[in-house]
Amino acid sequence: MLSFWSRPLTLLTLLVVSTLIAWLLFGVVAALAGFSAALLIWLSFHLRNLYRFRRWLRNPSLDTVPAGTGLWAGAFAALYRLLRRQSQSESRLSAALSRFQRAGAAIPEGMVILDEGDRIEWCNPKAESHLGLDFTRDEGQQITYLVRHPQFVEYLSLLNYNEPLEVRLPRDADLLLTIQLVPYGDKQKLLLSRDITHLERVETMRRDFVANVSHELRTPLTVLYGFLETLVGMPQLDSDMTRRTLRLMQEQAQRMRRLVEDLLTLSRLESSHYLLSEESVDVPALMRGLYQDAVTLSAGHHRVQLKIENADWLTASVQELRSAFGNLISNAIRYTPEDGEIYLRWHRVDGQPAFTVEDGGIGIDAQHIPRLTERFYRIDDGRSRETGGTGLGLAIVKHVLSRHQARLDISSELGHGSRFSAVFPLQRLAAQPAPQDVQLSA
């Protein structure tokens, strides 16, 4: 820094000394005239360099940086180095951006970068194909102006991006997309779109296959079970071995029939064409009926207790609720040792209506709980066979609750029983009919 200023300071010092000498030799007027002339020359020098600098600023370029002298030579040299570093940095950033754009274009999913106002900053060709965009035309446009779909607009406005959105856009009804927004940076969002049409087709084929096979199996199984039931009850069968064999065949046929029924139920629940049939459901009355079924199923081997803590009704499908609640109850009975207690409750959990089954059974290890609602998932195959379970009960419960916007809370501890709670949202509460309406309907 001192070397930069040393030359102009030296020149200024010489000018002052020369002025003093001229003052002593030639007088004040001559000294001031010489000093003024020197200052004018120095000022002209700087004005000339300033003019060259200002002219360069009109069209700045690394190749046309002025080559000054003196103080300006150092300034222009520093400016040249700064511009060269900036040019190198821009080249690196440009190369990185080009690599990013090439990588983005090669990604099989759609990508759209949105700013804090949901305006399009960049998108790749796959996103253009999925969403009907054109980056050269739509850059800077708000995406909701271009993707006009109520579900997408609502998804964008709710700011809850934990789960992707499945949507069919009007421009191509055969295309099924999953769309997910990922917030990042300074209030920016990355919109990812993926074509899952082929996955939906595979899933539809799987559901149709299960439904068709189940329908085909139902009739022969019903016939087989009916004849086995008749044979077991025939008085002329004296052989204990024959009776035992027929009884085992009957039990397995019954188990296969339950499996087919559960597969059909699950197939219906998974079908997009199976609409939810809603009505006002008297849940306390439903609970009393389920309690009687539980007592019958237990056959006196357990102490079943019913607690109805409120009179809430739900807007729901009574058949689906009976299926879901019945599956939870039958599981509790199957996995609770003899003389164990089972509690059925209709109550509130954090203000929300909830159905809870609590038992004092063998319990479940924590590592198994996240997978309990998977179809055919078994903690112990041998134990499941002994109890007659199909492995589909909790999968059915999960689908029923999902169709009612409810959730399944599970807590359990080995050796200390389990608690399963179906918790419904408040918007599912239904108004109870007035007493006179009940009287009329009776």
Q: Residue 307 has what pLDDT?
A: 93
Q: Residue 280 has what pLDDT?
A: 92
Instruction: Look up the pTM and report it.
Output: 0.51
Q: pLDDT per residue over 159-174, tens digit each?
A: 777 888 888 887 777 7
Here the tokens at position 96 are 């990185």
Q: Which of these, 376, 184, 172, lies nearest to 262 by C-alpha position?
A: 376
> Is 381 found in the same domain as 315?
yes
Residues 222-230, mean pLDDT to the nearest whole number: 73
Q: Residue 437 has what pLDDT?
A: 47
> Is 184 found in the same domain as 79?
no
> Is 306 found in the same domain as 413?
yes
What confidence tier does 422 reach under pLDDT thresholds 50, 70, 90? very high
Q: Which domain holds residue 216?
A: 209-270
Domain membership flag for residue 122? yes
Q: Residue 440 has what pLDDT?
A: 34
Q: How far apart are CA 400 and CA 428, in angstroms?
A: 14
Q: Is the pLDDT of residue 442 over 50?
A: no
Q: pLDDT per residue over 380-391, tens digit each?
A: 655 555 555 667
Domain membership flag for residue 418? yes
Q: Residue 216 has what pLDDT?
A: 63
> Is 284 found in the same domain as 155?
no
- Euclidean distance between the first and final Cα of the chain, in Å? 101
Q: pLDDT per residue over 81-121, tens digit each?
A: 888 888 888 888 887 777 777 777 778 888 898 988 889 98
Domain membership flag for residue 204? no
Q: Is the pLDDT of residue 209 over 60?
A: yes
Q: Is the pLDDT of residue 441 over 60?
A: no
Domains in the chain, number: 4
Residues paired with 223 in a beta bridge: none
> Is 315 found in the same domain as 297?
yes
Q: Which of 132, 162, 195 is the last residue of a domain?
A: 195
User: Within 13 Å and on the Cβ side, how many CA atoms surround 53?
Assistant: 15
Q: Is the pLDDT of residue 343 over 90?
A: yes
